[in-house]
Amino acid sequence: MDMHLLTSDITTVDQWRARRTETAGADAERRVGLLQDRAKEIRRDLITMIGAAKQGHVGGDLSVTDILTVLYHHVLRIDPANPTAAVRDRFILSKGHCAAAFYATLASAGYIPHAALESFMKPLSELSGHPNRTKVPGVETNTGPLGHGLPVAVGEAIAARLKGTDERVFVALGDGEMQEGSNWEALMLAGHRKLANLTVVIDRNRLQQGARTEDTNALDPLDEKLAAFGLEVRVIDGHDIAALIEAFGPSTTGKPVGVIANTIKGKGVSFIEDRVEWHHKVPSAEQVAQAMEELA
């Protein structure tokens, strides 16, 4: 029985497939350009959604957008027409407060109809403020309470190994979220089990809800910490599409991969970029219009 009221948009899935084929076959420069176009569409959608809902987490949505774009439009081996296919790569958005970016990405891949984005955070909408796997096709596990996505991803990576498939598991976390102890327990197990099929992506925008991470509970040297837990660490610019593609390549050491994606919270909209108050501030109609101009 399909639990979901929302179902995939086959026209968009076909378009997504055609675009993926085009992206895969393009030369490096054109590939980056195509993915930047997708990311811009997703940024425009999430701004529209948050402006209409008058709720959301716009800063973290904009910092994770390029990560989501590269995963869904180039890397993940998925079939949005069959979200629960027995063999598939998995993605978990552990920083579940960034649901708007996630839903906009799922819509761009055809998991859900684009028109459904209009219901974001409305009463009784499937598209609530944090993603729910029983309501939204493509969502692998419920997130929102920080610190739970990575432990689930570790379990999925172990399950894939037990099944003997080559499925890969990706999880995106906030940097403030790394202050949750559960993540370090999960990393310890990932390192111990040498879960080479797991890629842990940290959206390192250096801001959490009310302040800078390094002023709250410092994470640096985060690369050394991840390496000490047994990860193969890749530090990149999290808005550099080519660097993201490379960083999402398979493990070369037999260890789980840890990607520290240095990002800018609010990336793409000048008055939101790197400003702590935009963690969950809502743009006015005028600010939505200005953001759209910048993202034109």
Which residue number, 238 or 256, has a Cβ lying nearer to ligand TPP? 238
* Cβ-based nearer residue to ligand TPP, 23 or 105: 105
By CB under 5 A, tell whether 174 contacts Mg ion: yes
CA 180, CA 188: separation in Å to the nearest integer? 14
Residue ranges that bind ligand TPP, judged by CB under 6 A: 57, 59-60, 63, 95, 97, 144-147, 174-177, 203, 205, 207-209, 265, 279
The residue (of 60 and 138) whose beta carbon lies closer to ligand TPP is: 60
DSSP secondary structure letters along 157-205:
HHHHHHHT----EEEEEETGGGGSHHHHHHHHHHHHTT-TTEEEEEEE-
Q: Tell me whether residue 41 or residue 203 sits nearer to ligand TPP (CB atom).
A: 203
Least Cβ distance, residue 53 to ligand TPP (angstroms): 16
How many residues sit in the footprint of Mg ion (CB under 5 A)? 5
Cβ of residue 60: shortest distance to ligand TPP, in angstroms? 2
- 144 touches which of ligand TPP, Mg ion, none (CB within 5 to 8 A by kind)? ligand TPP
| Closer residue to Mg ion, CB minimum distance, 142 or 205 | 205
Among ligand TPP, Mg ion, none, the one that 48 touches (CB under a kind-dependent 5 to 8 A) is none
Asked if residue 176 binds Mg ion (CB under 5 A), the reply is yes
User: Minimum Å distance from CB 267 to Mg ion?
Assistant: 12
CA torsion, points 70, 76, 80, 85, in degrees to nearest 10?
-170
Tell me which of ligand TPP, Mg ion, none is bound by residue 146, counting a contact when its beta carbon lies within the kind-specific cut-off of 5 to 8 angstroms.
ligand TPP
Minimum CB–partner distance for residue 258 and ligand TPP (Å): 16
Q: How far is the CB of 273 from ligand TPP (least distance, A)?
A: 13
Please select the residue that binds Mg ion; options are 9, 175, 180, 232, rule is CB under 5 A: 175
- Minimum distance, C-beta of residue 231 to ligand TPP, in the bound complex (Å): 18
